[in-house]
Structures are given as structure tokens and as C-alpha cells.
Amino acid sequence: MKWRTASISLLLVTLAIVLVAALMKRLPGQQEALLSPGFAAEDLQLGYYDLLSRQREVYDSSIVSHDKTSLMTLTSPNDSRFVLKIYLQQHNSIFRGVTFDYQLVYFAESHQARMIKSIIGNSGRNGIAFVTLDFEDKHLIVTPSGQIYSYH
């Protein structure tokens, strides 16, 4: 009956590893807030360029974060009437990235055809996903659309 002792020992070792991992916040589903106050304080400008139509859009952003919720405001330096406010609620995810629920709070525009409209529409249905990478003192955030954000 040594198998019983071995399986009890294996169970205790597994529980100890899970407990230590939970204390170190290494388990999937227990992530820190992605948009930290350090990231929110950065001056961030988003730019989109359509190669076929040679259309270019630039947006200034400001982010106000508290815990795992953020309010992102986009404005256009080229169009003072454009304002976009997005509420982001961070989800815990099992992969190395982070996903957000997305809710459009306010959208005012000058009725121009904008590329960001299609991005807003897709994000509302699919959520917003980020993959995070850490290198020494730098942090990178990468989106599936190819945007890369670097901050300290």
C-alpha cells in the first residue's frame, strides 16, 4: 500500500506549490493592473496610416486608471470637435496577455470618414487584448493590430 503514501505526498506537494504561487501572484487570473499610474501619466499619441488611401490620423490620449478600471480619452490635434471616451474594465486571462471589456462612454466627431471608427466597432464586440513583455526596466505592451507601447 505504498501508492497511498505516494499519492498523499504528491497531493501535499501540489497544494504547497499552488499556495506559494498564489502568494507570489504568479497564478493565471491574478494579474496586476496593466494600465498603472506610471503608464497613465505618459504622454501617448496614437497614429494610424492607411497605405491605400494615404489617409493619416493622429490622436492624443489621456488615461485615468484606478485598480483594474481605466477611462481613456482620445482627442485629435487636427480636429478640435473630435472627442472619444472609452471605459476599460480589465479581465483576468489565462494567457500572457490581458483583455479588457470595452464600453464607449462618449463619442463626438465632425462626421468625417475616420479609420478609428472601424477599430472602435471591432473592439466593442471583441474586447481589447494586450500582450505584455518586460525587459529590465522597460515594459512593452503589444496589441494584436501591431501597436507597440514602451514605457518605464
pLDDT, tens only, 76-121: 888 888 888 888 887 766 555 666 667 777 777 776 777 777 766 6
Euclidean distance between the first and the last CA atom of the chain, given in angstroms as a whole number: 56
- Nine-digit cell at 111? 462626421
pLDDT for res 133: 74
Q: What is the mean predicted confidence (pLDDT) over 3-16? A: 62
**pTM above threshold 0.85:** no
